[in-house]
Amino acid sequence: MKQLEELVVAGFGGQGVLSLGMTLAYAGMIDGKAISWMPSYGPEMRGGTANCITILSDTRISSPIISKFDSAIILNQPSMDKFAERVKPGGLLLYESGNIFKPSTRTDIQLMGIPATTEATRLKNSKIMNMIMLGAYLQLRPVVKTEAVVEALKEVLPEKYHHLLELNREALELGKKLIQELELVG
Amino acid sequence: MNVTKLMKGNEALAEAAIRAGCDAYFGYPITPQSEVLEYLAREMPRHNRIVLQAESEVASINMVYGAAGAGFRAMTSSSSPGFSLMQEGISYLAGAELPCLLVNVNRAGPGLGTIQPGQGDYFQATKGGGHGDYRLIVLAPASVQEMADHVFLGFDLADQYRNPVVILSDGAIGQMMEKVTFKPYQKPTVDKSWATTGKPASRKRNAISSLFIQPERMEQHNLKLTEKFNRIRESEVRFEEVNTDDADYLLVAYGLSARIAQKAMDLARAKGLRVGLLRPITLFPFPEKRLRELATQVQGMLTVELNSGQMVEDVRLAVEGRVPLARYGRMGGMIFTPEEIERQLETLFEKAYAN
Protein backbone atom coordinates (compact mmCIF):
# COMPACT_ATOMS: atom_id res chain seq x y z
CA MET A 1 0.00 0.00 0.00
CA LYS A 2 1.15 3.53 -0.76
CA GLN A 3 2.46 5.17 2.40
CA LEU A 4 2.63 8.87 3.13
CA GLU A 5 3.36 10.47 6.49
CA GLU A 6 3.19 14.24 6.89
CA LEU A 7 4.57 15.31 10.26
CA VAL A 8 5.15 18.63 11.96
CA VAL A 9 7.53 19.01 14.91
CA ALA A 10 7.25 22.26 16.85
CA GLY A 11 8.59 23.79 20.05
CA PHE A 12 11.10 26.29 21.39
CA GLY A 13 14.46 26.82 19.69
CA GLY A 14 16.99 24.71 21.59
CA GLN A 15 14.62 21.83 22.33
CA GLY A 16 15.98 19.85 19.39
CA VAL A 17 12.96 20.42 17.17
CA LEU A 18 14.87 20.63 13.89
CA SER A 19 17.21 17.73 14.68
CA LEU A 20 14.26 15.51 15.65
CA GLY A 21 12.68 16.03 12.24
CA MET A 22 16.02 15.75 10.48
CA THR A 23 16.87 12.44 12.19
CA LEU A 24 13.56 11.02 11.02
CA ALA A 25 14.21 12.33 7.50
CA TYR A 26 17.64 10.70 7.42
CA ALA A 27 16.15 7.44 8.68
CA GLY A 28 13.52 7.63 5.94
CA MET A 29 16.25 8.06 3.34
CA ILE A 30 18.15 5.05 4.74
CA ASP A 31 14.87 3.09 4.51
CA GLY A 32 14.66 4.01 0.82
CA LYS A 33 11.77 6.48 1.05
CA ALA A 34 11.30 9.84 -0.61
CA ILE A 35 11.71 12.48 2.09
CA SER A 36 11.57 16.21 2.57
CA TRP A 37 12.49 18.34 5.59
CA MET A 38 11.36 21.94 5.62
CA PRO A 39 12.54 24.05 8.57
CA SER A 40 11.30 27.39 9.74
CA TYR A 41 14.33 29.61 9.42
CA GLY A 42 15.41 33.03 10.55
CA PRO A 43 15.22 34.80 13.91
CA GLU A 44 12.61 32.39 15.27
CA MET A 45 15.34 29.73 15.49
CA ARG A 46 17.20 31.86 18.02
CA GLY A 47 15.08 31.36 21.10
CA GLY A 48 11.59 31.77 19.67
CA THR A 49 9.39 28.97 18.39
CA ALA A 50 10.81 26.68 15.74
CA ASN A 51 9.15 24.05 13.62
CA CYS A 52 9.89 21.70 10.79
CA ILE A 53 7.79 19.66 8.44
CA THR A 54 9.08 16.17 7.69
CA ILE A 55 7.41 14.16 4.94
CA LEU A 56 8.11 10.48 4.27
CA SER A 57 6.61 8.87 1.20
CA ASP A 58 6.87 5.78 -0.98
CA THR A 59 6.32 8.01 -4.02
CA ARG A 60 7.63 11.38 -5.16
CA ILE A 61 6.71 14.19 -2.75
CA SER A 62 4.83 17.12 -4.25
CA SER A 63 4.60 20.02 -1.81
CA PRO A 64 7.18 20.26 0.99
CA ILE A 65 4.95 22.90 2.59
CA ILE A 66 1.57 21.75 3.84
CA SER A 67 -1.08 23.05 6.20
CA LYS A 68 -2.63 19.82 7.54
CA PHE A 69 -0.69 17.03 9.18
CA ASP A 70 -1.07 13.30 9.79
CA SER A 71 0.95 13.68 12.98
CA ALA A 72 2.33 16.42 15.20
CA ILE A 73 5.03 16.28 17.85
CA ILE A 74 4.50 19.32 20.06
CA LEU A 75 7.03 20.50 22.62
CA ASN A 76 5.62 23.78 23.97
CA GLN A 77 2.32 25.56 24.62
CA PRO A 78 2.47 28.15 21.80
CA SER A 79 3.00 25.30 19.31
CA MET A 80 0.08 23.36 20.83
CA ASP A 81 -2.12 26.43 20.32
CA LYS A 82 -0.88 26.86 16.76
CA PHE A 83 -0.84 23.31 15.43
CA ALA A 84 -3.47 21.29 17.35
CA GLU A 85 -6.24 22.34 14.95
CA ARG A 86 -4.11 21.44 11.96
CA VAL A 87 -3.87 17.70 12.71
CA LYS A 88 -6.09 15.76 10.32
CA PRO A 89 -9.06 13.95 11.92
CA GLY A 90 -7.87 10.51 12.99
CA GLY A 91 -4.30 11.83 13.21
CA LEU A 92 -1.83 11.78 16.07
CA LEU A 93 -0.84 14.59 18.41
CA LEU A 94 2.04 13.60 20.66
CA TYR A 95 3.16 16.19 23.19
CA GLU A 96 5.72 16.77 25.92
CA SER A 97 3.50 16.95 28.99
CA GLY A 98 5.96 18.84 31.24
CA ASN A 99 5.98 21.87 28.92
CA ILE A 100 2.27 21.93 28.15
CA PHE A 101 -0.32 22.99 30.69
CA LYS A 102 -3.29 23.13 28.37
CA PRO A 103 -3.42 20.34 25.80
CA SER A 104 -5.94 20.30 22.98
CA THR A 105 -9.43 19.08 23.84
CA ARG A 106 -10.04 17.51 20.43
CA THR A 107 -11.69 14.10 20.54
CA ASP A 108 -11.29 13.20 16.87
CA ILE A 109 -7.52 12.69 17.08
CA GLN A 110 -5.22 10.51 19.14
CA LEU A 111 -3.79 12.74 21.91
CA MET A 112 -0.84 11.46 23.91
CA GLY A 113 1.40 13.28 26.38
CA ILE A 114 4.62 11.93 27.85
CA PRO A 115 6.92 13.55 30.45
CA ALA A 116 10.00 13.38 28.21
CA THR A 117 11.79 16.27 29.95
CA THR A 118 11.62 14.57 33.35
CA GLU A 119 12.70 11.29 31.79
CA ALA A 120 15.63 13.01 30.06
CA THR A 121 16.79 14.30 33.44
CA ARG A 122 16.74 10.71 34.65
CA LEU A 123 19.09 9.84 31.77
CA LYS A 124 21.24 12.75 33.05
CA ASN A 125 21.09 14.68 29.77
CA SER A 126 18.29 17.19 29.23
CA LYS A 127 19.18 17.51 25.51
CA ILE A 128 18.07 13.93 24.89
CA MET A 129 14.40 14.87 25.40
CA ASN A 130 13.78 15.07 21.64
CA MET A 131 14.96 11.49 21.09
CA ILE A 132 12.60 10.23 23.80
CA MET A 133 9.81 11.96 21.87
CA LEU A 134 11.01 10.40 18.61
CA GLY A 135 11.06 6.94 20.21
CA ALA A 136 7.53 7.46 21.50
CA TYR A 137 6.38 8.66 18.07
CA LEU A 138 7.91 5.62 16.34
CA GLN A 139 6.13 3.31 18.78
CA LEU A 140 2.83 4.88 17.70
CA ARG A 141 3.73 5.36 14.02
CA PRO A 142 6.41 2.88 12.96
CA VAL A 143 7.16 4.72 9.71
CA VAL A 144 10.85 3.76 9.75
CA LYS A 145 12.86 0.94 11.31
CA THR A 146 14.62 1.70 14.60
CA GLU A 147 17.92 0.50 13.09
CA ALA A 148 17.52 3.15 10.41
CA VAL A 149 17.14 5.81 13.12
CA VAL A 150 20.30 4.62 14.84
CA GLU A 151 22.11 4.77 11.49
CA ALA A 152 20.64 8.22 10.89
CA LEU A 153 21.97 9.51 14.22
CA LYS A 154 25.50 8.78 13.02
CA GLU A 155 24.84 11.24 10.19
CA VAL A 156 22.99 13.89 12.20
CA LEU A 157 25.32 13.96 15.21
CA PRO A 158 28.71 15.57 14.58
CA GLU A 159 31.52 13.05 15.09
CA LYS A 160 32.63 14.68 18.33
CA TYR A 161 29.28 13.63 19.84
CA HIS A 162 29.42 10.02 18.66
CA HIS A 163 30.13 8.87 22.23
CA LEU A 164 26.50 9.87 22.84
CA LEU A 165 25.09 7.41 20.28
CA GLU A 166 24.40 4.79 22.94
CA LEU A 167 22.57 7.38 25.07
CA ASN A 168 20.46 8.34 22.07
CA ARG A 169 19.57 4.70 21.50
CA GLU A 170 18.55 4.39 25.17
CA ALA A 171 16.40 7.50 24.82
CA LEU A 172 14.62 6.05 21.77
CA GLU A 173 13.93 2.82 23.67
CA LEU A 174 12.72 4.74 26.71
CA GLY A 175 10.28 6.69 24.54
CA LYS A 176 8.91 3.46 23.10
CA LYS A 177 8.56 1.98 26.60
CA LEU A 178 6.67 5.03 27.90
CA ILE A 179 4.06 4.58 25.19
CA GLN A 180 3.82 0.83 25.80
CA GLU A 181 3.13 1.54 29.49
CA LEU A 182 0.52 4.18 28.62
CA GLU A 183 -1.18 1.75 26.27
CA LEU A 184 -1.24 -0.95 28.96
CA VAL A 185 -2.93 1.47 31.35
CA GLY A 186 -5.33 2.31 28.53
CA MET B 1 29.73 6.13 -9.10
CA ASN B 2 26.54 7.77 -7.87
CA VAL B 3 26.59 9.39 -4.44
CA THR B 4 23.31 10.03 -2.62
CA LYS B 5 23.07 12.45 0.28
CA LEU B 6 20.51 14.31 2.36
CA MET B 7 21.26 18.00 1.95
CA LYS B 8 19.83 21.48 2.09
CA GLY B 9 19.22 23.01 -1.33
CA ASN B 10 21.97 25.57 -0.77
CA GLU B 11 24.45 22.87 0.27
CA ALA B 12 23.57 20.66 -2.70
CA LEU B 13 24.15 23.62 -5.01
CA ALA B 14 27.53 24.29 -3.41
CA GLU B 15 28.59 20.64 -3.60
CA ALA B 16 27.52 20.54 -7.23
CA ALA B 17 29.68 23.59 -7.95
CA ILE B 18 32.74 21.70 -6.72
CA ARG B 19 31.79 18.61 -8.73
CA ALA B 20 31.14 20.75 -11.82
CA GLY B 21 34.72 21.99 -11.69
CA CYS B 22 33.97 25.52 -10.54
CA ASP B 23 37.40 27.16 -10.30
CA ALA B 24 36.42 30.24 -8.35
CA TYR B 25 33.55 31.44 -6.14
CA PHE B 26 33.16 35.04 -5.04
CA GLY B 27 30.34 36.01 -2.69
CA TYR B 28 29.02 37.94 0.25
CA PRO B 29 26.75 36.48 2.94
CA ILE B 30 23.02 37.11 2.96
CA THR B 31 20.08 35.09 4.30
CA PRO B 32 18.68 32.74 2.99
CA GLN B 33 21.67 31.65 0.86
CA SER B 34 24.64 31.99 3.22
CA GLU B 35 25.08 28.20 3.35
CA VAL B 36 26.51 28.37 -0.17
CA LEU B 37 29.40 30.58 0.92
CA GLU B 38 29.81 28.66 4.20
CA TYR B 39 29.96 25.29 2.44
CA LEU B 40 32.36 26.47 -0.25
CA ALA B 41 34.59 28.32 2.25
CA ARG B 42 34.97 24.98 4.05
CA GLU B 43 35.33 22.68 1.03
CA MET B 44 36.87 24.63 -1.87
CA PRO B 45 40.39 24.98 -0.38
CA ARG B 46 40.60 21.17 -0.10
CA HIS B 47 40.16 21.02 -3.86
CA ASN B 48 42.67 23.81 -4.50
CA ARG B 49 39.96 26.11 -5.79
CA ILE B 50 39.45 29.79 -5.08
CA VAL B 51 36.79 30.93 -2.62
CA LEU B 52 36.69 34.55 -1.59
CA GLN B 53 34.33 36.53 0.60
CA ALA B 54 34.42 39.90 -1.10
CA GLU B 55 33.73 43.25 0.56
CA SER B 56 30.40 43.54 -1.23
CA GLU B 57 28.21 42.07 -3.94
CA VAL B 58 29.49 44.73 -6.34
CA ALA B 59 33.01 43.44 -5.78
CA SER B 60 31.89 39.80 -6.10
CA ILE B 61 30.31 40.23 -9.50
CA ASN B 62 33.31 42.12 -10.86
CA MET B 63 35.63 39.39 -9.56
CA VAL B 64 33.46 36.94 -11.48
CA TYR B 65 34.03 39.13 -14.56
CA GLY B 66 37.77 38.88 -14.07
CA ALA B 67 37.88 35.14 -13.45
CA ALA B 68 35.48 34.33 -16.31
CA GLY B 69 37.47 36.60 -18.61
CA ALA B 70 40.58 34.58 -17.80
CA GLY B 71 38.71 31.44 -18.91
CA PHE B 72 37.87 29.99 -15.52
CA ARG B 73 34.56 28.52 -14.38
CA ALA B 74 33.43 31.25 -12.02
CA MET B 75 30.29 31.82 -9.99
CA THR B 76 28.64 33.93 -7.34
CA SER B 77 25.47 33.62 -5.31
CA SER B 78 23.29 35.97 -3.35
CA SER B 79 19.71 36.72 -2.38
CA SER B 80 17.44 39.44 -3.71
CA PRO B 81 18.83 42.72 -2.25
CA GLY B 82 22.38 41.48 -2.83
CA PHE B 83 21.55 40.30 -6.32
CA SER B 84 20.21 43.76 -7.18
CA LEU B 85 23.61 45.21 -6.31
CA MET B 86 25.17 42.97 -8.97
CA GLN B 87 23.03 44.16 -11.87
CA GLU B 88 25.54 46.56 -13.40
CA GLY B 89 28.17 43.83 -13.44
CA ILE B 90 25.71 41.34 -14.93
CA SER B 91 25.01 43.71 -17.82
CA TYR B 92 28.78 43.99 -18.44
CA LEU B 93 29.17 40.18 -18.29
CA ALA B 94 26.37 39.75 -20.83
CA GLY B 95 27.82 42.48 -23.04
CA ALA B 96 31.29 40.95 -22.93
CA GLU B 97 29.79 37.47 -23.47
CA LEU B 98 31.46 35.96 -20.43
CA PRO B 99 30.25 32.52 -19.31
CA CYS B 100 29.48 32.35 -15.59
CA LEU B 101 26.94 31.03 -13.12
CA LEU B 102 24.91 33.43 -10.96
CA VAL B 103 22.58 32.22 -8.22
CA ASN B 104 19.72 34.19 -6.70
CA VAL B 105 17.99 32.53 -3.75
CA ASN B 106 14.95 34.78 -3.96
CA ARG B 107 13.51 36.31 -0.77
CA ALA B 108 10.47 38.54 -0.59
CA GLY B 109 10.81 42.25 -1.33
CA PRO B 110 10.95 44.97 -2.55
CA GLY B 111 13.75 46.69 -0.65
CA LEU B 112 15.23 44.76 2.24
CA GLY B 113 11.88 43.00 2.47
CA THR B 114 11.99 39.83 4.53
CA ILE B 115 14.21 36.78 4.63
CA GLN B 116 11.29 34.46 3.85
CA PRO B 117 10.83 32.96 0.34
CA GLY B 118 9.48 34.94 -2.60
CA GLN B 119 9.38 34.94 -6.40
CA GLY B 120 9.36 38.69 -6.91
CA ASP B 121 12.64 38.63 -8.86
CA TYR B 122 11.16 36.92 -11.92
CA PHE B 123 11.12 40.14 -13.97
CA GLN B 124 14.64 41.05 -12.87
CA ALA B 125 16.02 37.65 -13.89
CA THR B 126 14.14 37.17 -17.15
CA LYS B 127 13.81 40.71 -18.51
CA GLY B 128 17.26 41.98 -17.61
CA GLY B 129 17.75 43.70 -14.26
CA GLY B 130 20.69 45.64 -15.63
CA HIS B 131 20.78 48.15 -18.47
CA GLY B 132 21.00 47.46 -22.17
CA ASP B 133 19.67 44.77 -24.42
CA TYR B 134 20.55 41.32 -23.12
CA ARG B 135 19.11 38.04 -21.97
CA LEU B 136 20.23 35.60 -19.33
CA ILE B 137 19.51 31.90 -19.45
CA VAL B 138 17.34 31.42 -16.36
CA LEU B 139 16.93 28.05 -14.65
CA ALA B 140 14.28 27.53 -11.95
CA PRO B 141 14.96 24.54 -9.67
CA ALA B 142 11.97 23.03 -7.84
CA SER B 143 13.81 20.52 -5.67
CA VAL B 144 17.10 19.97 -3.90
CA GLN B 145 18.03 17.56 -6.71
CA GLU B 146 17.54 20.32 -9.27
CA MET B 147 19.54 22.78 -7.14
CA ALA B 148 22.45 20.43 -7.89
CA ASP B 149 21.52 19.44 -11.46
CA HIS B 150 21.10 23.04 -12.59
CA VAL B 151 24.66 23.87 -11.54
CA PHE B 152 26.10 21.34 -14.03
CA LEU B 153 23.59 22.38 -16.69
CA GLY B 154 24.13 26.06 -15.97
CA PHE B 155 27.91 25.95 -16.31
CA ASP B 156 27.62 23.89 -19.51
CA LEU B 157 25.08 26.26 -21.10
CA ALA B 158 27.13 29.27 -20.04
CA ASP B 159 30.19 27.85 -21.77
CA GLN B 160 28.24 26.72 -24.84
CA TYR B 161 26.65 30.11 -25.47
CA ARG B 162 29.24 32.37 -23.81
CA ASN B 163 26.44 33.86 -21.74
CA PRO B 164 25.75 34.29 -18.01
CA VAL B 165 23.30 31.75 -16.59
CA VAL B 166 21.10 32.46 -13.58
CA ILE B 167 19.72 29.89 -11.18
CA LEU B 168 16.61 31.56 -9.77
CA SER B 169 15.75 29.66 -6.61
CA ASP B 170 13.99 30.76 -3.43
CA GLY B 171 14.46 30.65 0.33
CA ALA B 172 12.40 27.50 0.81
CA ILE B 173 14.18 25.42 -1.84
CA GLY B 174 17.48 26.75 -0.48
CA GLN B 175 16.74 25.85 3.13
CA MET B 176 14.85 22.58 2.79
CA MET B 177 16.50 19.14 2.85
CA GLU B 178 15.84 16.37 0.38
CA LYS B 179 17.68 13.47 -1.12
CA VAL B 180 20.16 14.44 -3.81
CA THR B 181 22.12 12.12 -6.08
CA PHE B 182 25.37 13.23 -7.69
CA LYS B 183 26.20 11.36 -10.86
CA PRO B 184 29.68 11.22 -12.37
CA TYR B 185 30.23 14.35 -14.44
CA GLN B 186 32.66 15.05 -17.23
CA LYS B 187 33.34 18.72 -17.85
CA PRO B 188 32.99 19.28 -21.61
CA THR B 189 36.00 20.54 -23.50
CA VAL B 190 35.29 24.11 -24.50
CA ASP B 191 37.33 26.36 -26.74
CA LYS B 192 38.24 29.39 -24.67
CA SER B 193 40.88 30.77 -27.00
CA TRP B 194 39.25 34.20 -26.45
CA ALA B 195 40.31 34.22 -22.78
CA THR B 196 42.79 36.79 -21.54
CA THR B 197 45.53 34.57 -20.19
CA GLY B 198 48.63 36.43 -21.34
CA LYS B 199 49.68 37.05 -24.94
CA PRO B 200 51.88 34.46 -26.60
CA ALA B 201 53.86 35.48 -29.71
CA SER B 202 51.71 33.16 -31.85
CA ARG B 203 48.51 35.24 -31.80
CA LYS B 204 47.16 38.76 -31.64
CA ARG B 205 46.16 40.11 -28.26
CA ASN B 206 42.82 39.10 -26.77
CA ALA B 207 40.67 41.85 -25.34
CA ILE B 208 37.43 41.47 -23.41
CA SER B 209 35.17 44.47 -23.34
CA SER B 210 31.56 45.55 -23.59
CA LEU B 211 32.57 48.95 -24.98
CA PHE B 212 31.86 49.63 -28.67
CA ILE B 213 32.02 53.38 -29.12
CA GLN B 214 31.09 53.38 -32.82
CA PRO B 215 27.32 52.84 -33.23
CA GLU B 216 27.89 50.71 -36.36
CA ARG B 217 30.09 48.28 -34.45
CA MET B 218 27.79 48.36 -31.43
CA GLU B 219 24.82 47.45 -33.60
CA GLN B 220 26.74 44.56 -35.16
CA HIS B 221 27.44 43.33 -31.64
CA ASN B 222 23.74 43.74 -30.72
CA LEU B 223 22.74 41.74 -33.80
CA LYS B 224 25.18 39.00 -32.88
CA LEU B 225 23.74 38.85 -29.36
CA THR B 226 20.17 38.85 -30.69
CA GLU B 227 21.00 35.94 -32.99
CA LYS B 228 22.45 34.09 -29.99
CA PHE B 229 19.36 34.74 -27.84
CA ASN B 230 17.19 33.43 -30.67
CA ARG B 231 19.30 30.26 -30.90
CA ILE B 232 18.82 29.83 -27.15
CA ARG B 233 15.05 30.31 -27.58
CA GLU B 234 15.09 27.64 -30.28
CA SER B 235 17.18 25.00 -28.51
CA GLU B 236 17.09 25.34 -24.75
CA VAL B 237 13.44 25.41 -23.65
CA ARG B 238 12.91 23.01 -20.75
CA PHE B 239 9.71 22.25 -18.88
CA GLU B 240 7.89 19.46 -17.08
CA GLU B 241 4.29 18.39 -17.62
CA VAL B 242 2.15 16.48 -15.14
CA ASN B 243 -1.30 15.12 -16.04
CA THR B 244 -1.71 17.36 -19.07
CA ASP B 245 -3.00 14.56 -21.35
CA ASP B 246 -6.63 14.82 -20.25
CA ALA B 247 -6.52 18.20 -18.50
CA ASP B 248 -9.47 20.60 -18.70
CA TYR B 249 -7.59 23.16 -16.66
CA LEU B 250 -3.91 23.94 -16.48
CA LEU B 251 -1.83 25.18 -13.58
CA VAL B 252 1.36 27.01 -14.55
CA ALA B 253 3.97 27.46 -11.84
CA TYR B 254 7.73 27.33 -11.33
CA GLY B 255 10.07 26.51 -8.44
CA LEU B 256 8.52 26.09 -5.00
CA SER B 257 5.12 27.22 -6.30
CA ALA B 258 5.11 24.31 -8.74
CA ARG B 259 5.58 21.84 -5.90
CA ILE B 260 2.65 23.31 -3.97
CA ALA B 261 0.58 23.51 -7.18
CA GLN B 262 1.21 19.83 -7.82
CA LYS B 263 -0.33 18.95 -4.47
CA ALA B 264 -3.26 21.27 -5.26
CA MET B 265 -3.63 19.41 -8.55
CA ASP B 266 -3.79 16.09 -6.67
CA LEU B 267 -6.45 17.50 -4.31
CA ALA B 268 -8.48 18.77 -7.29
CA ARG B 269 -8.17 15.46 -9.13
CA ALA B 270 -9.43 13.64 -6.02
CA LYS B 271 -12.59 15.75 -6.41
CA GLY B 272 -12.91 14.83 -10.07
CA LEU B 273 -11.53 18.05 -11.56
CA ARG B 274 -9.20 17.25 -14.43
CA VAL B 275 -6.27 19.54 -13.70
CA GLY B 276 -2.78 19.41 -15.20
CA LEU B 277 0.44 21.22 -14.40
CA LEU B 278 3.06 22.79 -16.62
CA ARG B 279 6.25 23.70 -14.81
CA PRO B 280 8.72 25.88 -16.72
CA ILE B 281 12.25 24.74 -15.87
CA THR B 282 13.82 27.44 -18.02
CA LEU B 283 12.20 30.85 -17.43
CA PHE B 284 14.25 32.21 -20.30
CA PRO B 285 13.77 30.73 -22.78
CA PHE B 286 10.10 30.35 -21.83
CA PRO B 287 8.00 27.33 -22.97
CA GLU B 288 5.78 29.52 -25.17
CA LYS B 289 5.09 26.97 -27.92
CA ARG B 290 3.89 24.24 -25.59
CA LEU B 291 1.66 26.69 -23.70
CA ARG B 292 0.18 27.86 -27.00
CA GLU B 293 -0.60 24.24 -27.91
CA LEU B 294 -2.18 23.56 -24.53
CA ALA B 295 -4.26 26.74 -24.87
CA THR B 296 -6.30 25.00 -27.57
CA GLN B 297 -6.87 21.97 -25.34
CA VAL B 298 -7.79 23.37 -21.91
CA GLN B 299 -10.67 25.61 -20.87
CA GLY B 300 -8.53 27.88 -18.75
CA MET B 301 -5.18 28.40 -17.12
CA LEU B 302 -4.21 29.48 -13.63
CA THR B 303 -0.71 30.74 -12.86
CA VAL B 304 0.40 30.67 -9.24
CA GLU B 305 3.45 32.62 -8.11
CA LEU B 306 4.79 34.11 -4.90
CA ASN B 307 4.44 37.64 -6.30
CA SER B 308 1.75 39.97 -7.59
CA GLY B 309 1.78 38.45 -11.09
CA GLN B 310 4.98 38.40 -13.14
CA MET B 311 5.33 35.10 -15.04
CA VAL B 312 1.62 35.42 -15.85
CA GLU B 313 2.60 38.12 -18.37
CA ASP B 314 4.76 35.64 -20.28
CA VAL B 315 1.96 33.08 -20.19
CA ARG B 316 -0.43 35.73 -21.52
CA LEU B 317 1.96 36.53 -24.40
CA ALA B 318 2.33 32.82 -25.14
CA VAL B 319 -1.37 31.96 -25.29
CA GLU B 320 -2.32 35.16 -27.16
CA GLY B 321 -5.82 35.31 -25.74
CA ARG B 322 -6.75 31.80 -26.87
CA VAL B 323 -7.83 30.80 -23.36
CA PRO B 324 -9.08 32.52 -20.19
CA LEU B 325 -6.14 33.12 -17.88
CA ALA B 326 -6.24 33.79 -14.15
CA ARG B 327 -3.52 34.32 -11.60
CA TYR B 328 -3.15 33.74 -7.88
CA GLY B 329 -0.32 34.78 -5.61
CA ARG B 330 0.89 35.43 -2.10
CA MET B 331 3.59 37.91 -1.19
CA GLY B 332 5.73 39.19 1.64
CA GLY B 333 7.18 35.79 2.47
CA MET B 334 3.72 34.30 2.98
CA ILE B 335 3.23 31.02 1.14
CA PHE B 336 0.00 29.63 -0.28
CA THR B 337 -1.19 26.24 0.89
CA PRO B 338 -2.21 23.49 -1.55
CA GLU B 339 -5.79 23.88 -0.26
CA GLU B 340 -5.73 27.60 -1.04
CA ILE B 341 -4.78 26.94 -4.67
CA GLU B 342 -7.30 24.13 -4.92
CA ARG B 343 -10.07 26.53 -3.83
CA GLN B 344 -8.99 28.92 -6.60
CA LEU B 345 -9.28 26.07 -9.07
CA GLU B 346 -12.77 25.18 -7.88
CA THR B 347 -13.91 28.77 -8.28
CA LEU B 348 -12.49 28.86 -11.79
CA PHE B 349 -14.11 25.56 -12.68
CA GLU B 350 -17.48 26.83 -11.52
CA LYS B 351 -17.09 29.84 -13.79
CA ALA B 352 -15.85 27.75 -16.72
CA TYR B 353 -18.73 25.30 -16.49
CA ALA B 354 -21.29 28.07 -16.01
CA ASN B 355 -20.43 29.45 -19.46
Task: Please report the DSSP string for B38-88 in residue order.
Answer: HHHHHHGGGGT-EEEE-SSHHHHHHHHHHHHHTT--EEEEE-HHHHHHTHH
Average pLDDT over residues A31-53: 83
pLDDT at A1 over 50: no
Average pLDDT over residues A109-116: 97
B200 part of a folded domain:
no
pLDDT at A2 over 60: no
B212 and B251 in a single domain? The answer is no
pLDDT at A121 over 90: yes
A162 at the B interface (CB within 8 A)? no
Q: What is the DSSP string of B253-308?
A: --HHHHHHHHHHHHHHHHTT--EEEEEESEEES--HHHHHHHHTT-SEEEEEESSS
pLDDT at A158 over 50: yes
* Residue whose C-alpha is closest to residue B167's, from B149, B181, B184: B149
Per-residue pLDDT of chain B (355 residues; tens, 9 = 90+): 899 999 999 999 999 999 999 999 999 999 999 999 999 999 999 999 999 999 999 999 999 999 999 999 999 999 999 999 999 999 999 999 999 999 999 999 999 999 999 999 999 999 989 999 999 999 999 999 999 999 999 999 999 999 999 999 999 999 999 999 999 999 999 999 999 999 999 999 999 999 999 999 999 999 999 999 999 999 999 999 999 999 999 999 999 999 999 999 999 999 999 999 999 999 999 999 999 999 999 999 999 999 999 999 999 999 999 999 999 999 999 999 999 999 999 998 887 666 5
**The domain that contains B284 carries what CATH number?**
3.40.50.920
* Residue whose C-alpha is closest to residue A3's, from A155, A122, A141, A183: A141
A62 dihedral zone (left: phi>0; alpha: psi -120 to 50; beta): alpha
| B176·A67 Cβ contact <8 A | no
B46 and B135 in a single domain? The answer is yes
B222 and B262 in a single domain? The answer is no
| B176·A66 Cβ contact <8 A | no
A64 at the B interface (CB within 8 A)? yes
**Residue A78: per-residue pLDDT:** 93
pLDDT at A107 over 90: yes
A110 dihedral zone (left: phi>0; alpha: psi -120 to 50; beta): beta
| B176·A39 Cβ contact <8 A | yes
B308 and B210 in a single domain? The answer is no
**Residue A146: per-residue pLDDT:** 86
Average pLDDT over residues A58-64: 95
Note whether A171 and A132 are within 8 A (CB). Answer: yes
**Residue B187: per-residue pLDDT:** 95
Fold of A4-185: Pyruvate-ferredoxin Oxidoreductase; domain 3 (3.40.920)
pTM of the predicted structure, to 2 decimals:
0.95
Which residues in chain A have Cβ-Cβ distances shorter than 8 Å to B141? none
Confidence of residue A48 (pLDDT cuts 50, 70, 90): confident
- Provide the domain limits for residue B294: 239-354
**Residue A184: per-residue pLDDT:** 84
Domain count, chain B: 2
User: Distance (Å) from the C-alpha of residue B6 to the closest C-alpha of chain A?
Assistant: 7
Note whether A17 and A130 are within 8 A (CB). Answer: yes
Which residues in chain A have Cβ-Cβ distances shorter than 8 Å to B4? 29
Which residues in chain A have Cβ-Cβ distances shorter than 8 Å to B337? 65-67
| B6·A25 Cβ contact <8 A | yes
| Alpha carbon B301 to its chain's center | 23
B218 and B257 in a single domain? The answer is no
Confidence of residue A13 (pLDDT cuts 50, 70, 90): confident
**Residue A46: per-residue pLDDT:** 56
Note whether B15 and B150 are within 8 A (CB). Answer: no
B103 and B29 in a single domain? The answer is yes
Rounded-to-integer distance, Cα A73 and Cα A118, Å:
17
Confidence of residue A43 (pLDDT cuts 50, 70, 90): low
Residue ranges covered by each domain of chain A? 4-185
Q: How far apart are the first and last CA of chain B?
A: 56
B243 and B179 in a single domain? The answer is no
Rounded-to-integer distance, Cα B61 and Cα B146, Å:
24
Average pLDDT over residues A80-103: 97
B230 and B275 in a single domain? The answer is no
B275 and B223 in a single domain? The answer is no
B79 at the A interface (CB within 8 A)? no
**The domain that contains B24 carries what CATH number?**
3.40.50.970
Choose from A2, A6, A63 for mutation: most chain B CBs within 10 A. A63
Q: Which of A37, A42, A155 sits opposite B176 (nearest CB)?
A: A37
A62 at the B interface (CB within 8 A)? yes
B271 part of a folded domain:
yes
pLDDT in tens, B215-244: 999 999 999 999 999 999 999 999 999 999
Last residue of one domain, picked from the residues B235, B254, B289: B235
**Residue A114: per-residue pLDDT:** 96
B190 and B327 in a single domain? The answer is no
| A36·B256 Cβ contact <8 A | no
Note whether B192 and B71 are within 8 A (CB). Answer: yes
Note whether B153 and B146 are within 8 A (CB). Answer: no
**Residue B313: per-residue pLDDT:** 98
pLDDT at A44 over 60: no
B188 and B89 in a single domain? The answer is yes
Residue B44, Cβ density class (10 Å: 0-12 exposed, 13-18 middle, ≥19 buried): buried
Residue B39, Cβ density class (10 Å: 0-12 exposed, 13-18 middle, ≥19 buried): buried
B311 and B168 in a single domain? The answer is no
Confidence of residue A3 (pLDDT cuts 50, 70, 90): confident
Rounded-to-integer distance, Cα B178 and Cα B143, Å:
8
Residues of A144-159 as b/e, b for ≥16 C-beta within 10 angstroms?
bebebbbbbbeebbee
**Residue type present at position A38:** M
**Residue B348: per-residue pLDDT:** 85
